Amino acid sequence: MEMIKKWLFDCPQPKCGELANGYYNVGPMLADDREGPTDEDSRMHVITSVTLKDYDEYISEIKKTDAKFYLDNTVVNDRYTGFELNGKQYIASFIAKRGEIRVIEDIASTALDKFGYNVQGEKSTVLYPYGLYHDPENQNTDCTINCGMVYFIRLSDNSLFVIDAGYYFQHSMEATEGMWKFMHDITGTPDGEKIRISCWYYTHGHDDHTDGCLRLLTLHSDEIILERVMHGFPSFTHAKGASPASFRMKETVKEKYPDISCLQLHTGQKFNLADMTVEVIYAEEDTAEAVDLEKINIRDFNGTSTIIKLTVKGKTMMILGDTNSETEAFTEKYGNPEIWKSDMVQVAHHCFNYLPKMYKWIDAPFASVPHRKEGAYRPDNIHKIQDVLQYVKDDQVYYSGDATRGFEITENGFKLIHESPVVGKEFDHSWMH
């Protein structure tokens, strides 16, 4: 692609600063882009050498159009504005530490005000870090794996918010049917009635986070109402570390749920799902540099994990996916570490990554580790878990590789109300890709 200074969007161009050459390809929502860019790829323009006053004037110009605004979010000194114009979604931002205006044109997403909903139901909201089988020797074999992650949150309207899916080795027939029964149990859904998943969120495109949904949706799609899906996967052109499973997930969702609402995640977005607030803290396009918008500045694909903060009853949960030290360094330089403080943290990358500064920012008294305790305490991991434990209060650290637990979220914190053993062991080769 020849990089030229040309505004390509259907919304007005800022009249200030300097437009960077070309654009950054943010990637598609459910399209398969392994063969190249697609018609639903989101794109980002960057304007350098600007001030907050310039940004305010730009938004004032947008307001003179027929744009419909649905997001106005201030994060420390940064600003985020979401609007719909000419049938397309846009999110404009002012990044103070960069002195830049960034504008993303999002082709495939549902408008944020239509994607989210605000309902206070009768149920308590419960966090379930789900127990997946992890290799007891912390190895990867032909029938076991030492990673994988699934979280369920039963919202107050009795719908499920699901995070990731686990690896297919963790979805033997016994394990899959165990998970299906668990979903019925926590929602009280009788056999024969449909389970409602209000949203399935994928932190990043690795197979141990996307693969497991395939069997569940293949076996039970007629018994599941899947309303929404969201992720922040990068363009395959930029980051070729996405697993084939992530594309199979997209294909399966499109096939089984053609009318599903989709949201590509971008930093600064903030919306509700029932009684839970979702705020996007970090997305991979944040690392793009104006001097070369054809290049991704992440070497390890785990650094493309989108990071979100969830809030229920005033208690916050930081979902890190498999994020790494590159995210930590970027946030220290350009982000806002002061907003990372949370009441609960999902420990990143199964406790494989060393992130002392990040866990200090989060300072969470409650930690959930998507691994076995023995795996987290192996000699090569123990110094990493210690970075988490120094902030934990009253031994509130739990390992989902050892059991499935449920924590009712209250104004006072996270109350343990459920504990059950991991269902399923080594993969039985009862299904293959």
Measured between alpha carbons, how far is 273 from 69 in angstroms, rounded to an integer?
19
- pLDDT at residue 142 above 80? yes
Cα 281–Cα 162–Cα 311 angle in degrees, nearest 5 = 45
- Does residue 330 belong to any structural domain of this protein? yes
Please state the rounded mean pLDDT for residues 218-232.
96
Q: How high is the pLDDT of residue 432?
A: 66
Asked, for residue 6, whether it belongs to a domain, the answer is no
Q: For residue 48, what pLDDT is reported?
A: 98
Radius of gyration of the chain (CA): 21
Per-residue HEC secondary structure of 239-253 comes to CCCCCHHHHHHHHHH
Asked if residue 7 belongs to a domain, the reply is no
Domain boundary among 109, 142, 171: 109
Q: Does the residue 126 lie in any domain?
A: yes
Distance CA 176, CA 424 (A): 8
Closest CA to 281 of 227, 226, 346, 351: 346
291 domain-assigned = yes
CA dihedral 279, 281, 283, 288 (to 10 degrees): 140
- Decide if 425 is inside a domain: no
Average pLDDT estimate for 131-145: 90
Eight-class DSSP state of 20: P
In a domain, 426, yes or no: no
Residue 25: its pLDDT value, please? Answer: 97
- Is 316 a residue whose pLDDT tops 80? yes
Q: How confident is the model at residue 2, as a pLDDT? A: 52
95 and 205 within one domain: no
What is the torsional sign of CA 112, 252, 202, 398?
A: positive
- For a pLDDT cut of 70, what percent of the chain falls above it? 99
Domain boundary among 64, 84, 109: 109
Do 236 and 216 share a structural domain? Answer: yes
Query: Could you tell me the two tokens for 104?
Result: 């993303």
Over residues 32-60, mean pLDDT? 97
- What is the CATH classification number for the domain harbouring 187? 3.60.15.10
The CB-side HSE value for 236 (13 A sphere, CA atoms) comes to 18
Q: Answer yes or no: do 394 and 367 share one domain.
A: yes
Whether 428 has a pLDDT exceeding 90, the answer reads no
Judge if 129 and 93 occupy the same domain. no
Q: Is residue 427 part of a domain?
A: no
Position 326 scores a pLDDT of 96
Whether the pLDDT of residue 217 is over 70: the answer is yes
What are the CA-CA distances from residue 57 to residues 63, 172, 269, 337 (Å)? 10, 57, 21, 28
The amino acid that residue 346 corresponds to is: Q
Could you tell me if 100 and 131 lie in one domain? no
Residue 85 and residue 232 in one domain: no
Query: What pLDDT is stored for residue 433 in this prediction?
Result: 58
Query: Taking residues 8-12, what's their average pLDDT?
Result: 96
Taking the C-alpha atoms of residue 273 and residue 277, their distance in angstroms, rounded to an integer, is 6
pLDDT at position 3 is 58
Beta bridge partners of 407: 127, 416
Mean pLDDT across 130-152: 92
pLDDT attached to residue 394: 83
The residue assigned the tokens 């609402």 is 261
Question: What is the reported pTM?
Answer: 0.97
Residues 146, 103 share a domain: no
Whole-number mean pLDDT of the chain? 95
How many separate domains does the chain show? 2
Q: Is the pLDDT of residue 238 over 90?
A: no
Q: Tokens 């309902």 — which residue? A: 119
172-197: pLDDT as tens digits: 999 999 999 999 999 999 999 999 99
Both 328 and 197 in one domain: the answer is yes
**Does pLDDT of 91 surpass 60?**
yes
The predicted structure's pLDDT at residue 237: 86
Residue 302 in this model has a pLDDT that exceeds 60: yes
Sign of the dihedral through C-alpha 327, 332, 338, 339: negative
Give mean pLDDT, residues 260-266: 98
Strands 404-410 and 344-346: unpaired
Say if residue 125 is in the same domain as residue 46. Answer: no
- Residue 1: is its pLDDT beyond 50? no
The per-residue pLDDT for 375 is: 87
CA atoms within 13 Å, Cβ hemisphere of 224: 26
In a shared domain, residues 239 and 317: yes
Q: Which of 109, 139, 170 delimits the end of a domain?
A: 109
Q: Are 371 and 351 in contact (CB under 8 A)?
A: yes
Owning domain of residue 47: 18-109
Domain co-membership, 238 together with 271:
yes
102/121 same-domain check: no
**Tokens matching residue 379:** 């000699």
Place of tokens 């995210």: 327
Longest dimension (CA), the chain: 62
CATH of the domain at 26: 3.30.160
List the one residue out of 398, 386, 413, 412 whose CA is nearest residue 151: 398
Cα distance between residue 282 and residue 123, in whole Å: 30
